[in-house]
Structures are given as structure tokens and as C-alpha cells.
Amino acid sequence: MVHIITDSAADLQPQEYEKLGVTCIPLRVAFGDREYQENVDLGKEQFYELLLGSGEFPKTSQASPQLLADLFENAKSNGDEAIYITLSSSLSGTYQTALMVREDAEYEGAYVFDSRNATGGQRMLVEYACRLRDEGKNAAEIVAGLESIRDRIELYAVVNTLEYLHKGGRISHAVYTLGNLAQIKPIISVDTEGRVALPGKVMGMRKGMDFLGKRLAARKPDGAHPLYVMYTNNRSIAETLAQRLEANGWKHDGIIQVGAAIGAHVGPDACGIVYVGE
């Protein structure tokens, strides 16, 4: 048996993890002195309520390494294999910590896979791993399958406000000030190294949605994998994006909400797309 493990940055809902048979390790989210575990005592809706109402900028951090150590040890004891699909190593130390845990476990059946992504991109890898597991693939074959699509994941989003990118240190104060005056909406993406990139900027949310449509046309989705629409706190924006995409012939396979790992940096009223390119 192959156990699929991930962290809460993959942005599935608790019932989705259960349905897929995936173990989710919760990331920690702190607002001031109060710390939460994502999906345990902090759901997505509550996260955005705190983001908008607490006056505190959230800090996200890794879960306790002991949680993963216990999962690897259980797999080892049962003669099973385990694959941990982590949040991008360029965004968090989770991957490096997991490698140390794996080394301590001294078990060849334990694998650590760097998603080089987050939110919907990480989710797609988790779902594909489950598909391969259910087809009877072993852990090494599943990891090879994940490697075959990782660099083809396309994730783009339109950010409604520069405030959270500024607070998170992603843009300078000068860019933040000028961007606000000009009503600029930045486009963010995740590159093949798993880093957050800023490939463009537009004037207004509608032009941002047009940009996303152009990305789909420039690199068409691989029909063997889903196309997801994403959003932070405001689902109506995602529904508008989905309608605009559908009007141009692009049908989505679901609308997913972005959680704390990325939501803390992009803020409210953002929307985006994620898919595997041809």
C-alpha cells in the first residue's frame, strides 16, 4: 500500500482529503500571539475573516516534524510505502525538513516530493498521485509520474490589491505606492523552480481575467488533467472568471478556494487558474 501525504497548502477541503485517502499535515498560521492549525481549528473562511478584520498580518510556519516522522514510522512498521508531497521548497522550509525526517526514518519506502508549487498546483499533484496509486502503481512509479507533469503546471492569478504582497516583502514600498495610485492589478505565477513570479500587470480586474484567457490560448490545457479556477475570499469573482473563460470555450473542472499559505500574500478578491499544459 502507498500512503499519500501532503500539507494543507494543497488547499483541498478536509472532506476531500478523506475521500481521496490522503493524510494532510496542517500548517501553522499565527495572527499576533494566537496560533492556529490550518484545517484543524482554522478553516478558510475564518482565515479570511481574521485577515480582513484582525489588523494583524498572518505568519505561516511548518507543522511539527514529529507528525511526519510518525507517519513514516507507521508506514515502515506496516511494510507500506509513503510519499509526502510538500509545499514548494522555494516558499517554505517544509521540503528540507521532510528530507531530514526521511533520513532519520532510515526507510527506503518513504519518499519526499517537492511540488515546486502551492495551492491548486500542489493539489493537482496530490490528485494525480492518488490516481496512480489507485491504478496500482508503486511509490517509485508514482513519483516518476509526478515528475512528468510538475514542470507543465501553469498557475496564474490576478491580485486585486498590492497591500499583502507589500506586507509580505514581495514588492517594494515604491512599487506598492505607485501601483495603488495607478489601480494596477499584478499578475502572479509560480515558475518551474517553485518561486512566486510577477509576469505582468494590468489596469483593472477584467483585463486581468483577459490575461488569464490569453495564457490558456498560448499554452492549451492537457485534457488528461483538470482545469481549476481559484479564488481567495470572494467566490463571485471566481464565478465571473469561470463564465468569461467558458464563453471562450474553456470549461473548468472545479472552483477551489486558496488557503493561508498563499492567501496571506495575495490577499482578498484574487482569482486565478491552474492546469497542466500540453
All domains of the chain in start order, with CATH? 2-27+62-150 (3.40.50.10440), 153-276 (3.30.1180.10)
Residues 229 and 258: beta-carbon distance below 8 Å: no
Q: Which helix (H) or strand (E) holds 123?
A: helix 119-134
Q: Hey, how many other C-beta atoms are within 10 angstroms of the C-beta on 230?
A: 27
Q: Report pLDDT for 166.
A: 60
- Identify the pLDDT of residue 270: 95
pLDDT score of 263: 92
Q: What is the full per-residue pLDDT of the chain (278 aa) written as tens digits?
A: 999 999 999 999 999 999 999 999 999 999 999 999 999 999 999 999 999 998 888 998 998 899 999 999 999 999 999 999 999 999 899 999 999 999 999 999 999 999 999 999 999 999 999 999 999 999 999 999 999 999 999 999 999 876 766 666 555 554 544 455 456 788 989 988 988 888 888 988 999 999 999 999 999 999 999 999 999 999 999 999 999 999 999 999 999 999 998 898 889 999 999 999 99
DSSP annotation of 89 reads T
Question: What gap in Å lies between CA 261 and CA 26, rounded to an integer?
Answer: 11
Burial annotation 66-81 (CB, 10 A radius, 16+ → b, else e): eebbebbbebbeeeeb
pLDDT confidence of residue 182: 52
Q: Tell me how far apart the alpha carbons of residues 131 and 127 are, in angstroms, rounded to a whole number.
A: 6
pLDDT of 186 reads: 85
Q: Would you state the pLDDT for residue 174?
A: 45
This prediction has a pTM of 0.93
Which residues are paired to 149 by β-bridges?
none
Task: Give the start-end residues of each E strand in 21-161.
Answer: 22-25, 28-31, 34-37, 59-61, 81-86, 110-114, 153-158
- Strands in 227-231's sheet, in edge-to-edge order, are 196-203, 184-190, 153-158, 271-276, 227-231, 255-257
Q: Is residue 2 a contact partner of residue 81, using CB atoms and an 8 Å limit?
A: yes
The CA-based angle 227-232-236, given to 5 degrees, is 80
Beta bridge partners of 31: 34
HSE of 113 in the Cβ direction (CA atoms, 13 Å)? Answer: 28
Which of 28, 12, 16, 38 lies closest to 65 in space, CA to CA? 28
Reference 113, options 225, 191, 7, 17; nearest CA is: 7
Pick the closest to residue 193 from 61, 83, 95 (CA basis).
95
